[in-house]
Chains A and B, each alone.
Chain A
Amino acid sequence: MSRLSRRDFLKTSAALVTSATFGGVSRILSAADSQPSSKPNILVFVFDAMSARNLSLYGYPRQTTPNLERFAERASVYHQHYSAGNFTTSGTASMLTGMYPWTHRAFNYRGMIDRMLTDRNFFRLIGEEYTRIAFTQNLWADILLSQFETDLDIHLACDTYSQFAESLIQPADLPADRNLAYYVFQDFLNLRVDDERPYPGSLFLASADLSRAIATDRHHNSNEYPRGLPTNHDFSYQNSSVLGGIASLLQSKVLQSSPYLAYFHLWSPHEPYGARQEFVGIFEEDLKLQPKSRHPLAGNHYSEKSLRKYRREYDEFIADLDAEFGRFLFQLETAGVLQNSYVIVTSDHGELFERGEWGHASALMYAPVTHIPLLISAPGQQSRSDFYSLTCNIDLLPTLLQIADQEIPTWVEGRLLPGFGGTRDASRSIFPMMAKDNAAFRPLKHASLSIIKGPYELFFFTGYPGHPDTFELYNLQEDPNELQDLFGKDITTASQMKDELLEAVNAANRNYQKK
């Protein structure tokens, strides 16, 4: 069993003390005296930028996830699960609120949920009977969690289990304004040395950050980490330490008496892909991929060779993470933590290695960047259930409320997942979107919008300068690689889906039109 290091212990203790200062833990401690609840614990693990398309669990030819496959043997596995966004902010906000980005409005880089809607989150709705814990290594996701600060009993700082921080000041250092702390420091006063166009607002803080960056080996290359330690560009970490810290937290006494909802959003396997030595080079260069020509809206011009290299490094990083996560689950299981716990494994969005584009958050919304894993293991579940109907990450909130025996509000746009009260609905449509350059307070006019319905997926690219508004239509069942654009060929389907998408967008825009 791994143990907390002294540093992790101090950090976790500090986080608990901070929470106690603001009242959260006092409620937990008082709950510790009460009778144990029969309600199950809920553990949500979000792996940032983990595409379902790169997991052997979902049929990817490289064996990236043997441990997740083992876990899946006693879980519900969702095969057509999509994120409502293609980067952290929109994807995570949709999962936490059960609403589409055009409703919660967190669809810009480092954006926030509409300030009038912050009570619509699963930490609030699950009720105070639960101890609510949240931790993310992603600073943009932490902005969202900070908006829910009053609904959290324990909100661990992003760098809680990290090793090397790039900036002197982190958002948790500003508890009174934690939701704005990112904008004050990371986005403005501090210097983020990896930014493409940095313009730090404080000469002192920037010089301090820069001096530290020059004086230290920022990538922390070592024999164990030949590509450097995993990092979110603000701090470096090891997955073993992060998961070890989480395991210790879950076994701590404060969580023994009341049910808890614990949300853990890990940075891995987000780039940079810092796999350990034993996973570097484990996959051959023999993956058969159909070449896809560069898309006119691809923001970059990555060559096929580069994209193959990045894909391989990504796959290796997933395999590394999978091994650590397998160890972590075994540890929790041995300790009996999972006996009365639902374990949910998912992602906020995927990753793209095609059409000249690498990464996510681009104008391209193809399936690799929205198709995400979802596995739910119920307490005592011994067999695997596979679900192939279309689901979206906005479905997680109502499903969690159902598990916790709470009422599902009428404003929720998601549905109960199949296997948890939901039914298969072939006529269901979901609407992933990207509008990072569209003002959150204005109608959607500059965006990549999509609708997935049945086997079809329609894209609408609108408002891109120098590029006419265009539609693309694909049949994901017959053409999972999205190579044959059917928009001009299957006129009936294209027309129906186009009308439905535009109607939904117009409805979403109605509240933001100038009167």
Chain B
Amino acid sequence: MSMLKRLPEFSAILQVYAVIAVLLSAWTITAFLWKLSAWLLILNLGEIFTVFSYAMLIDLVESLIVLFILLLVAALLPPRILRDQFVVRGTILALGFVGSLMAFVRFHMEFGIESGVRLLFGPLAVILLTVLLLGLSSKIRFIAPLAVWISDRLTVFLFILVPLFVLLSAYIIFRNIV
């Protein structure tokens, strides 16, 4: 019970989850649309729907993992560090974490595997920016309202994403059981 008390408010969790889920699923849906034209040559609509469903299930799992990590950190650290400013700092951390993954993969897409460890420059830059924003969020006036505004605006997408995640995950679970 005391652990639950160390967690942020539910509405704050929801706002941060919206940031995570929207970023991850936006990437997946973009990739899906990019692949779609090739799949239309070979797969029927039912098969494409199943592939998309698996992808959404993976997105759901990934988004919950990121949220879980943030909540764990919030619960373990002193409340003033993350829990009390969960929407602002959680949003910045979520943007930074998912953004660094995007930068990592995007750099590979642009420059190829031959670039080796130089592919890490992109995610490192994003992580550095995240640390800077976290540090400055209480000092520069517009950062906190901006983070709140972003998470607030993205929350509306949960009305689409959550039912989508649930329905498609149920479909995949059903396929695997039957």
Query: Which B residues are in CB contact (< 8 Å) with A187?
Result: 35
Contact A180–B50 (Cβ < 8 Å) = yes
B42, B105, B120, B175: the one contacting A206 at CB < 8 Å is B105
Q: Which residues of B contact A214 (CB under 8 A)?
A: 113, 116-117, 119-120
Q: Which residue of B lies closest to A438 (CB)?
A: B41
The smallest beta-carbon distance between B72 and chain A, in angstroms, is: 17
A297 within 8 Å of B by Cβ?
A: no
Contact (Cβ within 8 A) B105 A207: yes
CA distance A201 to B58 in the complex (A): 10
Q: A318 in the interface, Cβ–Cβ < 8 Å?
A: no
Cross-chain contact B108 with A191 (CB below 8 angstroms): yes
Given contacts A109-B42, A177-B175, 19 further A-B pairs with CB under 8 A are: A174-B54, A176-B175, A188-B32, A199-B35, A201-B32, A201-B55, A202-B28, A202-B62, A203-B27, A203-B98, A204-B65, A206-B105, A207-B101, A210-B108, A214-B116, A214-B117, A214-B119, A440-B42, A441-B44
Q: Is the interface of A mostly helix, strand, loop or mixed?
A: loop
Give Cα distance in the complex from A188 to B34, angstroms.
10
Q: Is the CB of B119 within 8 A of A439?
A: no
Which stretch, A44-52, A110-118, A276-284, A398-406, touches the partner chain B? Answer: A110-118
Can you list 9 A-B contacts with CB-CB less than 8 angstroms, sorted by A residue number?
Answer: A177-B175, A180-B50, A184-B51, A199-B35, A202-B59, A202-B62, A204-B62, A206-B105, A214-B116
> CA A227 – CA B117 in complex, angstroms?
22
Contacts of A213 in B (CB 8 A): 113
Interface-central residue, A174, A199, A207, A438, by most chain B CB under 10 Å: A199
Question: For residues 37 through 81 of chain B, which have their beta carbon under 8 Å from a beta carbon of chain A?
Answer: 38-44, 47, 50-51, 54-55, 58-59, 62, 65
Per the CB 8 Å criterion, the residue count for chain A at the interface is 38
What is the distance, in angstroms, from A85's C-beta to the closest C-beta of chain B?
Answer: 14
Bound form: Cα–Cα A495–B168 in Å: 55
Determine if A60 is an interface residue (Cβ-Cβ < 8 Å).
no
Chain B CB within 10 Å, residue with most, of A108, A201, A203, A207: A203
Asked if A476 is an interface residue, CB under 8 A from chain B, the answer is no
Nearest-neighbor residue (CB-CB) of B98 within chain A: A203
Among B51, B108, B117, contact of A180 (Cβ-Cβ < 8 Å): B51
Which residues on B sit within 8 Å (CB–CB) of A198?
108-109
Q: Taking the complex as formed, is A183 at the interface, i.e. its CB lies under 8 A from any CB of chain B?
A: yes
Contact A108 B41 (CB under 8 A): yes
Is A66 part of the binding interface, using a Cβ–Cβ cutoff of 8 Å? no
Q: How distant is B129 from chain A, measured CB to nearest CB, in Å? A: 18
Tell me if B2 is interfacial: C-beta within 8 Å of chain A: no
Contacts of B113 in A (CB 8 A): 193-194, 210, 213-214, 218
Alpha-carbon distance between A39 and B54 when the two chains are bound, in angstroms: 43
Any B CB within 8 A of the CB of A17: no
Which residues from 16 to 45 on chain B have a C-beta closer than 8 Å to any C-beta of chain A?
A: 24, 27-28, 31-32, 34-35, 38-44
Please report the C-alpha to C-alpha distance between residue A183 and residue B52 in the assembled complex, in whole angstroms: 10
Q: How far is the CA of A205 from the CA of B119 in the complex (A)?
A: 16
Query: What B residues does A485 contact at CB under 8 A?
Result: none
**Contact (Cβ within 8 A) A199 B34:** yes
Q: How far is the CA of A102 from the CA of B109 in the complex (A)?
A: 35
Q: How far does the alpha carbon of A183 sit from the alpha carbon of B109 in the complex, in Å?
A: 19
**A interface residues with partner B (beta carbon < 8 Å):** 108-112, 115, 174, 176-177, 180, 183-184, 187-189, 191, 193-194, 197-207, 210, 213-214, 218, 437-441
The answer to the question of B14 belonging to the interface, with a C-beta cut-off of 8 Å to chain A, is no
Give chain B nearest CB distance to A89 CB in angstroms.
9
B106-156, CB < 8 A from A:
108-109, 113, 116-117, 119-120
Assess whether A115 is in contact with B55, with CB atoms less than 8 Å apart: no
Which residue of chain A has its CB nearest to the CB of B54?
A184
Contacts of B109 in A (CB 8 A): 197-199
Q: Of residues A191, A197, A210, which shows the largest number of chain B Cβ atoms within 10 Å of its Cβ?
A: A210
* Complex CA–CA separation, A174 to B28 (angstroms): 20
Among A112, A200, A204, max chain B CB count under 10 A is at: A204
CA distance A203 to B44 in the complex (A): 26
User: Is the CB–CB distance between A203 and B42 below 8 Å?
Assistant: no
Cα(A115)–Cα(B43), bound, Å: 10
In Å, the complex CA distance between A213 and B51 comes to 25
Q: Which of chain A's residues have a CB closer than 8 A to the CB of B54?
A: 174, 177, 180, 184, 189
Q: Which residue of B lies closest to A206 (CB)?
A: B105
- CB neighbours of A206 from chain B (8 A): 101, 105
Q: Which residues of B contact A111 (CB under 8 A)?
A: 41-42
Given the interface contacts A188-B51, A194-B113, A198-B108, does A203 sit within 8 Å of B35 by beta carbon? no
Give the residues in chain A near B34, CB-CB below 8 Å: 199
A205 contacts B42, CB within 8 Å?
A: no
Known: A183-B47, A188-B31, A188-B32. Contact between A202 and B55, CB under 8 A? yes
Asked whether B161 is an interface residue with its Cβ less than 8 Å from the other chain, the reply is no
A112 to B65, CA, bound (A): 35
A207-B28 contact given A183-B43, A199-B35, CB 8 Å threshold:
no
User: Which one of B40, B98, B104 lies within 8 Å of A439 (CB-CB)?
Assistant: B40
How far, in Å, is B31 (CB) from chain A's closest CB? 4
Do B41 and A439 touch across chains, with their CB atoms under 8 A apart?
yes
Cβ 8 A contact of B24, one of A174, A203, A218 = A203
Is A193's CB under 8 angstroms from B108's CB? yes
Going nearest first, the 9 A-B pairs with the smallest beta carbon separation are: A201-B31, A203-B101, A176-B176, A184-B54, A193-B113, A111-B42, A439-B41, A108-B42, A201-B28
Given contacts A199-B109, A203-B102, contact A177 B50 (CB under 8 A): yes
How close is A440's CB to chain B, nearest CB, in angstroms? Answer: 5
CA distance A345 to B42 in the complex (A): 30
Which residues on the A side are within 8 Å of B105 (C-beta)?
Answer: 191, 200, 203, 206-207, 210
A318 vs B29: C-alpha distance when bound (angstroms) = 43
Cα-based distance from A203 to B104 in the complex (angstroms):
9
